Structure 1
Amino acid sequence: MSDVMHPISVKALLNWILEEFKREGTVFGVRRFFKADPNKTMSLFGEQMEVPVGPAAGPHTQLAQNIVAAYLTGARFFELKTVQTIDGENLNVSKPCINARDEGYNVEWSTELTVPKAYEEYVKAWFILKLLSREFDLGSPDGFIFNMSVGYNLEGIKTPKIQNYIDQMQDATNTPIWAECLAAAREMLPRFTRIDEDYLEQISPHVSRSITLSTMHGCPPKEIERIAMHLLTEKYLNTFIKCNPTLLGYDYARKTMDALGYDYMDFDEEHFLADLQYEDAVPMLKRLQGQADHQHLNFGVKITNTFPLGIKQNELPGEEMYMSGRSLFPLSIAVAKKLSDAFHGKLQISYCGGADIFNIKDLFEAGIWPITVATVLLKPGSYQRITQIANLLSSLPYPTHVQVDLEKLSRLVAKAGQQAHYQKPIKLPITPKIEEKLPLLDCYTAPCRGTGGCPIDQDVPAYLRYVSEGKYLDALKVIVDRNPLPFITGTICAHPCQTKCTRQFYEGAIDIRGVKLEAAEHAYDELIATMEKPERKADAPKTAVVGGGPAGLSAAYLLAREGMPVTVFEKADKMGGVCSQVVPEFRISMESVQKDIDLASFMGAEFKNGQSAPDLNQLHAQGYTNVIYAIGAWHHRNLKLTHGTAINSLEFLKATRNDDMQHNPYGEHIVVVGGGNTAMDCVRVAKRLPGVKKASLVYRRNKRNMPADEDELYAALDDGVDFLELLSPVSLENGQLTCEIMELGERDASGRRKPMSTGKYTKVPADTVVSAVGESIDTRYYQHVGIQLDDRGLVASNPQTLETNLDHVYVIGDGNRGPATIVEAIADATRAAKNICAIHNEHYEQTNLNIDRAEPRSKRGIMVTPETPMTQAGRCLECSTICESCVDVCPNRANIVVNVNGDPQIMHIDRMCNECGNCETFCPYSSAPYKDKFTLFNSEADFYDSTNAGFFVKDAANKECLVRVGDVVETINLDETTMDIPNGLLDMMDTVIDDYSYCLAD
């Protein structure tokens, strides 16, 4: 496919808008329109804006439809994408060019269109907004402002191409595109309800009276001043000058980024030395301010340009990229403070640099406006996020003059260095994508359930919805349908579902685990009271389960629920495995574990505690047809020290749990070696033991590269554990643990940075060293009974059934996987149980809950704030009902919803796509919608320039289409084809021609 966008004519745009609104009640996918308060406006550049917010120069102001979408959602200040002499095909932007997974990165800097084409897009957008503001009664036709952006040097700006652009933006009267806009509107007058000829004649051709100067990094201050003087004195334009975080100096920027967890960002002093210096900037800006005042023009600064970084981890193609989003805010707001101090609050600041719903009120109340946003609009919710921001800002008093409140701005700078919102998590994020590939049809899915999400395919959206409605019993029924351990998993599950949660792209993933526990705690007694004991099946084969931990309990529950006779053998005095013997009581109580045990007991499982299970032959002799081994990873890896010994982490945890942490035979200084969850448990226990002065954790990597779950790391930090990073233990002598100091090298196969020796050493006080360097499987028992191992040293079994080389003998949990999570143990138990008998699960999907798609769609773009509180369960976006993330996040609206026989399907429109890659980032599948969704082409040449599955309509009247599916390309008649193509795709093409013909026009 080509990455060249083909702009849509103004006539086709107007037809699209009117037809889509008539059919769907939407425009370019926007479902909620913002209506401005008619009594509130702000004055700027001699113009009025109803709300001082809008999209920054970037992907959301490149095409006319992008600007329309932004206006409909509440934008009233538009910083148009930068134009420069290098344009069109000569620009050579690498693709993909955007990565907004968390902080934003981009490798694009100005419009990808030619300057004349960009000009036409801006005029079309201006004209259409004049029509829509009145037709849809969204606000005053004069209630929004277009702000030009140009770069990057005076020579380029003085070329005829850029001079014509600037002049014609100031007055479009005699341009062909203005005539085209008028002609198209006149032709469509009968289709408007509030537009007439008189109104068209009154539309102002003065598209922009202001300009923002963007200079490439390294532009000398004299050059910047010459350009600004040209714009002020020769073009008579209200002017903003973009200023960069490099004004802060390298040391400040590096220290700030490191302190906030962005230490992995690669930048050096080069740009800081070459860019505009603060001591040059202030006198220059004062001179320009004086010139602007003399000419009665507005002048100010635009903060901030994006921050240049080296590309080191393949974030995007190329060698250098620009950073934006929440990570830029602490730098941008510091620039605003530094310049505001120099001007005593009298310098106008147009702000962009991590502005979002969480800080925009503080920004505005500090006297900073207008405010533009970019990275937040690249995330799910996209343009619709502007609505919440516009509603918030329009509820505040509007200032009448420029005055930055220096005290409020100082507080904002301080907050930016302290609030969690601006800090990178300790652990770098896991990929949010599931392993499946994107299907052409019916692609909506809940990634929390998908591969890499929940191993037991738990109906997460269903129980979240029930909890949000207060229907705890219904929620718990959904949970226990597939999950026999609601209390254990609701408390200490590794919750991989949360790493896939789409809500993480808003204000953070839903606490799915916590909602599960909420349901269990509220409805457990009622569940027990309402459940019926299953009838024992006559002559059903007996099953022995060896091991009473999470895997064994799960297998027992599932089999007993189906009426199968099952007995669990556990050599410890109580069931629960690590949950009852090892995991500290403060993490999960025995009372909670017992409730899960009681569920299996209720179903009819028999328990035999306090004795080892009979061997395999004896179990068969006792009538057990099936044997499931669910033995945990109790074999401890040794920490090798040249002197001294470390104690076993599991023995340490068992001893302290049995003793209820009442006694301390370990001394005042306890050091735990390791970086996993077991290590976190050990050091948190050590911290609680009486008489302990210091509990330290020693690990050869840093926190970011520890294998422990992030919430376990934070819990240890909250407990006051002393983290001693980049240390490798060598010997323990005389109460001192000698450690080699390590440094981090390149990343290994796991993605973690490898620890490298430095040859330097340090000592750590240590009365006792606890070794938590991992557990493993003791396979001698399996080999003893004749179970074969694979080349990894794990049990060899059928991956679908987990049956070993011995008939009717299964190994699940740790024995199958190596040290596994609890939910993986449940998944294994389910797989083995399904091979023994039929396991009957319900399917709680949209049909069961009867969800109106309008409801989850209404949550799109709404962030949780004090003004818009939501419960954890209520935050669910219900992706199993509707997804449409690729529709949300496309700046150009190139992915659309086509309702085919009542079902929403996603179609990609080739001509509107520039392959920015943003839809790939946020699609839950391991795919890219711009490549992998069924694609509409608007020319035969574009069709053959692509490999996408898709179609070009050659003759709409006769429904003749050129179609590609897989490797087959044919010209077909939709009513008569014999081509091997799914009916759903035929229906989609038929529907596009009949109901979405506005997508076909040029």
Structure 2
Amino acid sequence: MGDRMTPMPFDQLVDWIVKEHDNSGTVFGVYRPYKADKKNNRKIFGRTLETPMGPAAGPHTQLTQNIVASYYSGSRFFELKTVQILDGEDLPVSKPCIRADDECYNCEWSTELYVPQAQDEYIKAWILLHIIAKEYGLGAMDGFQFNMSVGYDLEGIKSPKVNSFIDNMKDAKDTEMFKSCKSYLLNHMDLFKHVTKEDIENIPSEICNSVTLSTLHGCPPQEIQRIATYLIEEKGLNTFIKCNPTLLGYEFARNTMDEMGYDYIAFGDFHFLDDLQYEDAVPMLKNLMALAEKKNLEFGVKITNTFPVDVRNNELPSEEMYMSGKSLYPLSISLAAKLAKEFDGKLRISFSGGADYHNIKAIVDAGIWPVTVATTLLKPGGYQRLLQIAEKLEDGNVKFTGVDPEKTAKLAEDSVHDPHHRKAVKPLPIRKMAKSVPLIDCYVAPCKDACPIHQDITTYLQLSGAGKYEDAIKVIAEKNPLPFITGTICAHNCMSKCNRNYYEDPVNIRGVKLVCAEGGYDTFMKEIKAGELKGKKTAVIGGGPAGLAAAYFLTKNGMPATIFEKTGTLGGVVKHVIPGFRISDEAIDKDAALSLAYGAEVRYNTEVTDLEALKKEGFDYIILATGASKPGVLKLEAGETINALDFLAQFKAADGKLDIGKNVVVIGGGNTAMDTARAVKRTEGVEHSYLVYRRTKRYMPADEEELEMALEDGVEFKELLSPVALKNGKLLCKVMKLSDTDATGRRNIVETEETVEIPADTVIAAVGEQVPTEFYEANGINVNNKGKVLVNEETLETSAAGVYVVGDGLFGPATVVEAMRDARMAAEAILGKKAAVDFDDTVDNLEKIYDKRGILGETKDYKVEDSRCLGCSNVCENCAEVCPNRANLALNIPGLSMHQIVHVDYMCNECGNCKSFCPYDSAPYLDKFTLFANEADMENSKNEGFVVLDKAEIACKVRYLGNILTWKAGEKDSVIPDGLRKIMETVCKEYDYILG
């Protein structure tokens, strides 16, 4: 059906709510209801309010089911989506229209329904909230409020369409929808256990006695005052006026964004010049306050309206978009602070613009309420996040005595430094897996998929949480013989993909691994029984992580292996190069011991140059784990540089007692550069450790935590500099500048005419190491035109039969866990079988998982990190949670494990939000099995899916693999997979309320 939503009839909504609640205890997918306590009741606009928060005018207040889901999970104040004279198909909205990956952007602003449709949705919702409040014991039937939002000019607001809407929302008793809904309820009393006839008859028709005015950018103050005056005098409404952060001025907004890491967000000064000016706003607001007081009505401002920014990287299909969420909060709270001071707290402030679990308590405690939210609800957890927010706001001061200017000013001051609102130093990593979402069984643990060795993360998290470290280390060691190394310095791509990133911080998987290693290692080592090693022999060249892992997997599976190590100790780069302040020798030695526990032999101080000699000695296979041993070189026009790995090896051997001068420059921006600069800072006699890079910190390849540790250690970053020459104790550098972003979002650099000099007694280049091409060629191993070895991608076998390459020597410097992946691949090719098994991480009690969904919380105690794990290998319902319209449903399908996602076409407006949070490189609204309302809608879509032709006979028209088929229940020879047949049959039998 494209991007048009079809509102559900009232009888279908009632049927859906009652059946879903009876069957699963949920309402529109919300698992945990909020039950209000009257002791927390507040008063505003002369009415009761059980909680001072709810959804903002936006995607969560457009359809009836959205409002119901929001109420069920804790909302009590509903700012209904804005209506204006332009509506329905006449309103151009580019799709997708929402992008909430981190800070949020949107390019839609008012209801996409026709105004009469919107009115009907709000009336249906109003009545349903009264019913479920009583039926499910959620609170008083009068404990919530609807606040209408209208725009954008006086002419439009006075138009018959919008004027009728306002009047009917003030009192809906004469509307057909209000009368028909009450009549339906009275005729179906048998559906309810606790709702009485009197309850239904007493549902008030006076829906709204308040309004929030939204005006377009550039609307002059005289027009704003005329509209507000009309709403107060003529319509008798308590009135809020939306105010924009442009009142703060361009310089303030630009400086704040830059300071907080949002320098890439582009916006011009024209909105700041065209919009309402602060000096005009103050007298206007004073006049309106006086008018409202005269009329015995309440008046205030709503912060914020919108903050428009430029579309620079194809974020959304528009030229301009509206920013919200974490980046908007410092601006919105700063405007609140400015107005609170200006009016000495007497101007009422309703708040939106970055409010969430982390800050809402402080906002309300400052006297700023009601508070409405949107961005936080667009992230995994969705509506369920409201429960925790509602509970957090309990037991506060419920009486409004004004806004506290000092508290609000403190919130504004703190917001700039709050990590919940600052942008990460580095761009967010790609969260998605490079695969398409399957039609069935799409639940997946992204952490496990992202791990190069597919470590059984969720399994050992559960064991660790139970204190079963011996069992946990067994799970880890099945695929990972280096738990101390990976528990300390692993690049942890698993954590980058963790769904918890969308809540606050990822589960500290790496930290838990180290806890398990420390707690279970000794017992585990005592239990290891090395069996008899027999069969063909393998020579492993190199005793670093790749070599150790290769020997481990071979000997663990009964095949002999001998490590040839050119030094006197095992561990490779980790042992000889990575500084001791990063990882201890003791930790490395424990991993080496584990790797040898199944009987691998070691020949120390033995450098291998001739592979034929090994074969003559009787080795049938050879695994080359030599590393990227060829030093990288950076040549300057004048002066010499030191290789970073050479320096780090010397630093570690001499315990930092080196003579490299007072001023040392490190060139590079990767993890090795960070280690080097930190080691320089610890070197005897060094006063300044400078790090030079051609781009800014944001575009350095180093991991964010590595970069932050360098900053904490006092490394002095010199950004946008390209080194030229080292002369007379100074490094001459050309100054660079960033250009516009390219298609990947990376900003290129442009050379300027400017130069600078940096004091430099020593210059160290961390420019990457190279694979040992000459060694390969000398031993008859083919390489490509870049000198990289040619291998079979599935086995890593080279052109020389029986010779394999693993680790850094394969494609260049990589990570320890990637080295283990390579080692296992080669070992399995030699063994002719799998070298490790997968553990079953199925959870019997899914309720424990659902109890975590939507609940934010941070901890630094790695021993309880399992409590933060969302159990994604059992429950992955991100697309269902983040859909405002509930168009992605998680259904229980008999015969299939876990819940299955079905996309409901008629409920979807293609906002695109589910695409942002699906772990797969897919958009569920386009790629999941779709239920269509009718054949016409199916023809208007390319989605794989079905339309029910006969619910009783269970006959469906199906699109599968691009073909249109018909199917009836009981057909066994259909080309349609059994799982999809079960979904269609179950929808018709158990979820018929979806069909309408």
Same fold (TM over 0.5): yes
Residue 792 of structure 1: how far off its partner (Å): 3.6
Equivalent position of 1:152 in the other structure: 152
CA distance in 2, matches of 1:291, 1:710: 54
Equivalent position of 2:726 in the other structure: 732
Instruction: Indicate how the Cα distance of structure 1 residues 867 and 239 shifts in structure 2: closer, same or farther if over 3 A, else same.
Output: farther
Are the equivalent residues in 1 in contact too, given 2:771–2:810 (CA < 8 A)?
A: no
CA distance in 1, matches of 2:859, 2:527: 39
> Helix, strand or coil: the match of 1:743?
strand
Alignment of 1:333-732 (within 5 A): 333-399=333-399, 401-450=400-449, 453-537=450-534, 540-613=535-608, 615-661=610-656, 663-732=657-726
> Helix, strand or coil: the match of 1:628?
strand
AA of the residue aligned to 1:943: M
Equivalent position of 2:846 in the other structure: 853
AA of the residue aligned to 1:408: K
Equivalent position of 2:750 in the other structure: 756
Are the equivalent residues in 2 in contact too, given 1:491–1:588 (CA < 8 A)?
A: yes
CA distance in 2, matches of 1:300, 1:582: 63
Instruction: Give 2:891's match in structure 1, choosing from 885, 898, 908.
Output: 898
Point out where structure 1 has 5 or more consecutive residues left out of the alignment: none
AA of the residue aligned to 1:390: A
Are the equivalent residues in 1 in contact too, given 2:512–2:863 (CA < 8 A)?
A: no
Residue 358 of structure 1: how far off its partner (Å): 0.8
AA of the residue aligned to 1:437: S
Residue 973 of structure 1: how far off its partner (Å): 1.6
Is the aligned partner of 1:766 residue 2:755? no
Equivalent position of 2:874 in the other structure: 881
CA distance in 2, matches of 1:751, 1:620: 50
Alignment of 1:55-70 (within 5 A): 55-70=55-70
CA distance in 2, matches of 1:526, 1:314: 55
Residue 939 of structure 1: how far off its partner (Å): 1.2
Q: CA offsets, 1:12-59, max 9 Å, x none?
A: 100000011111111111110000003331111111110001000000
> Helix, strand or coil: the match of 1:799?
coil
CA distance in 1, matches of 2:371, 2:822: 52
CA distance in 2, matches of 1:269, 1:870: 50
Instruction: Indicate how the Cα distance of structure 1 residues 869 and 794 shifts in structure 2: closer, same or farther if over 3 A, else same.
Output: closer
AA of the residue aligned to 2:590: K
Are the equivalent residues in 2 in contact too, given 1:954–1:960 (CA < 8 A)?
A: yes
Is the aligned partner of 1:222 residue 2:216? no
Are the equivalent residues in 1 in contact too, given 2:528–2:597 (CA < 8 A)?
A: no
User: RMSD across aligned C-alpha pairs, in angstroms?
Assistant: 1.4
Is the aligned partner of 1:14 residue 2:14? yes
Alignment of 1:89-238 (within 5 A): 89-238=89-238
Are the equivalent residues in 1 in contact too, given 2:465–2:863 (CA < 8 A)?
A: no
Residue 971 of structure 1: how far off its partner (Å): 2.3
Residue 851 of structure 1: how far off its partner (Å): 3.4
CA distance in 1, matches of 2:594, 2:974: 54
Residue 842 of structure 1: how far off its partner (Å): 2.9
Are the equivalent residues in 2 in contact too, given 1:358–1:865 (CA < 8 A)?
A: no
AA of the residue aligned to 2:864: T
Residue 869 of structure 1: how far off its partner (Å): 12
Percentage of identical aligned residues: 52
Are the equivalent residues in 2 in contact too, given 1:324–1:354 (CA < 8 A)?
A: yes
AA of the residue aligned to 1:922: F
> Helix, strand or coil: the match of 2:287?
helix
> Helix, strand or coil: the match of 2:532?
coil
CA distance in 2, matches of 1:423, 1:753: 21
CA distance in 2, matches of 1:777, 1:747: 32
> Helix, strand or coil: the match of 1:681?
helix
CA distance in 1, matches of 2:867, 2:754: 53
Instruction: Give 2:799's match in structure 1, choosing from 792, 805, 810.
Output: 805
AA of the residue aligned to 2:345: G
CA distance in 2, matches of 1:236, 1:256: 39
> Helix, strand or coil: the match of 2:407?
helix
CA distance in 1, matches of 2:75, 2:659: 66
Equivalent position of 1:833 in the other structure: 827
Is the aligned partner of 1:39 residue 2:39? yes
AA of the residue aligned to 1:196: T
Instruction: Indicate how the Cα distance of structure 1 residues 843 and 866 shifts in structure 2: closer, same or farther if over 3 A, else same.
Output: closer
Residue 554 of structure 1: how far off its partner (Å): 0.7
Residue 868 of structure 1: how far off its partner (Å): 13
Residue 10 of structure 1: how far off its partner (Å): 0.7
Q: Does 858-867 or 195-204 show the bigger shift?
A: 858-867
Equivalent position of 1:872 in the other structure: 865
Are the equivalent residues in 1 in contact too, given 2:659–2:685 (CA < 8 A)?
A: no
AA of the residue aligned to 1:816: L
AA of the residue aligned to 2:413: A
CA distance in 2, matches of 1:396, 1:648: 61
> Helix, strand or coil: the match of 1:871?
helix
> Helix, strand or coil: the match of 1:148?
strand
Are the equivalent residues in 1 in contact too, given 2:659–2:684 (CA < 8 A)?
A: no
Instruction: Indicate how the Cα distance of structure 1 residues 828 and 446 shifts in structure 2: closer, same or farther if over 3 A, else same.
Output: same
- TM-score of the superposition, structure 1-length normalised? 0.98
Are the equivalent residues in 1 in contact too, given 2:903–2:925 (CA < 8 A)?
A: yes
Are the equivalent residues in 2 in contact too, given 1:959–1:975 (CA < 8 A)?
A: no
> Helix, strand or coil: the match of 1:769?
strand
Equivalent position of 2:737 in the other structure: 743
Residue 870 of structure 1: how far off its partner (Å): 9.2
Q: Does 915-924 or 402-411 show the bigger shift?
A: 402-411
Are the equivalent residues in 2 in contact too, given 1:851–1:881 (CA < 8 A)?
A: no
Are the equivalent residues in 1 in contact too, given 2:85–2:159 (CA < 8 A)?
A: yes
Equivalent position of 2:790 in the other structure: 796
Q: CA offsets, 1:927-974, max 9 Å, x none?
A: 111111111111111111111111111111111111111111022222
AA of the residue aligned to 1:626: Y
CA distance in 2, matches of 1:867, 1:694: 32
CA distance in 1, matches of 2:285, 2:190: 52
Equivalent position of 2:944 in the other structure: 949
CA distance in 1, matches of 2:621, 2:804: 8
Instruction: Indicate how the Cα distance of structure 1 residues 348 and 507 shifts in structure 2: closer, same or farther if over 3 A, else same.
Output: same
Instruction: Indicate how the Cα distance of structure 1 residues 869 and 369 shifts in structure 2: closer, same or farther if over 3 A, else same.
Output: farther
AA of the residue aligned to 2:627: G
Instruction: Give 1:990's match in structure 2, choosing from 985, 989, 996.
Output: 985
Instruction: Indicate how the Cα distance of structure 1 residues 41 and 267 shifts in structure 2: closer, same or farther if over 3 A, else same.
Output: same
Q: Does 50-59 or 811-820 show the bigger shift?
A: 811-820
AA of the residue aligned to 1:238: N
Q: Does 501-510 or 860-869 show the bigger shift?
A: 860-869
CA distance in 1, matches of 2:304, 2:463: 45
CA distance in 2, matches of 1:698, 1:759: 18
Instruction: Indicate how the Cα distance of structure 1 residues 342 and 867 shifts in structure 2: closer, same or farther if over 3 A, else same.
Output: farther
Residue 581 of structure 1: how far off its partner (Å): 0.7
AA of the residue aligned to 1:637: G
Residue 978 of structure 1: how far off its partner (Å): 4.1
Residue 153 of structure 1: how far off its partner (Å): 0.7
Q: CA offsets, 1:293-322, max 9 Å, x none?
A: 000001000001221000001111111000
